[in-house]
Structure formats: C-alpha cells, structure tokens
Amino acid sequence: MMDAWNRLKTGEKVLFGFFGVLGIVAVLNYVVLEWWRQTSHQQMFPIRTHYDFAGEGFQGSVLFRKNNCSSCHRAIGNGTSMGLDLDGIGSRRDLPYLVAFLRDPEATYRSKTVEHGAPPKDAAYVSQLPLEDQHAIAVFLSQLKADRGGASAQLPPPGQSSFIDAMLDTWVPDSWRVLFSDVRKRDNARDGATPGGAPGNTQGKGNEH
C-alpha cells in the first residue's frame, strides 16, 4: 500500500488527499446531523405545509389510509415517495379537479399515467371506488395546503426576494416579460405597497407566473 502511494506523483497525492479529507468531512457532518436530528427537540426545518380537516375531509383521510394510497403517496408527513408527494396539493388543484381525477385520471390528466387509469395498473382500483368515497378523499386532498413560498405552493414568498430577482434577470427571456406578469408586484399593488422586483420586470398583460 505504501509502495503504491510512494509511486504517485505529488499532484496525484494532493488530489487524492483532498478528496479523502472531503469524504471524511462529509461523513462527520452526516453523523453530527443525524445525532442532532435524533436527540434534539427543536424543529430542524420549517414546515411549509398544513392541514385543517373538518367533516368529510377527516373521513377522506381515513379512506386514504384504508385504501393503501399511502403505499405510493406521502400526505401529512406519512406514506412513501414512490408516487407524487401530495402535501400541498390543495394549493395547486381545486376540489373539482381532484374529484374528476380520482374518477377518470387519464381523461383529467390528458395523458397516460403510470399507475392510475384502467386495469391492470396498480392504482386502477381508485377509479372504481364508490363515488362518495372518491369525493371524501378529494376533499381530504383539497385541504392539504402549502404556505406561500413553500416548495409545493403556487405563489412565491411575498415581497422582495433578491434570489428570485437574480434568477429572473439571469434566465428569463425578454419576451416572457411581456407575456407574463410578476405576481409579487400585483400583490404589492393590491395591498397598497410600492411595487418591487428586479429591474426590467415590467407588469405584463398576459398570464401570470
């Protein structure tokens, strides 16, 4: 082993040494983070999703688990990530869409799906559930909300964001500034605040992003 090391050139030793130290630091960081996660009573990361089940929504949450939907999907922090993470889905899809999807997934999605749809797909049974059960599950999903600025939310954080402004200036084509409007400016104007945003992000008359 030492003979092989001695035969290496100085630059190769430096390179292997650098990656060796980097690997050790990564392992130590992982161990420390896991120890902190297991022993700390403090919340490590902010929770950007929430729910407030009432009536049919609670019934839908029971049916969601009873019908093994959590074997593929994650909701309220439980389940797996084999399929779409459903936490925050209620901020992206309204109740009519969710009801329609559960009843006829591929017609609503306007495309073939991996698991939902007609047999022999694994989740084909969902479209065969009683209509009242489908509606209750859809109500449950519609109550899974994401706070503004969360990864699953439709809208960015309110107010000014230097990071978002920098990304817009770097990546957004000039033609998009005419077609789309900055929802942060719209909200600021509606609230009576002075519109902010990156230079050149003019308020368009088209769709919003």
143-159: pLDDT as tens digits: 999 887 777 777 777 77
pLDDT tens readout for residues 190-205: 555 443 333 333 333 3
| Tokens encoding 169 | 């200036």
Q: Which two tokens stand for residue 28?
A: 């130590």
Buried b / exposed e over 159-185, threshold 16 CB at 10 Å, is eebeebbeebeeeeeeeebeebbbebb
Run of H or E including 121 = none
Nearest to 187 by CA among 156, 150, 153, 152: 156
- Name the range with the highest mean pLDDT among 2-6, 33-37, 88-92, 187-191: 88-92
pLDDT at res. 187 = 59
pLDDT score at 190: 55
Delimit the CATH 1.10.760.10 region(s) of the chain.
Answer: 49-146
User: Is residue 100 within 8 Å of 108, Cβ to Cβ?
Assistant: yes
In Å, how far are 40, 64, 69, 99, 208 from 134, measured between CA atoms?
A: 40, 9, 12, 7, 31
Mean per-residue pLDDT for 74-78?
86
Give the Cα separation of 71 and 82 in Å (integer).
Answer: 8
**What is the dotted CATH code of the domain comprising 49-146?**
1.10.760.10
C-alpha 194/C-alpha 159 separation (Å) is 10
Q: What is the pLDDT of residue 176?
A: 85
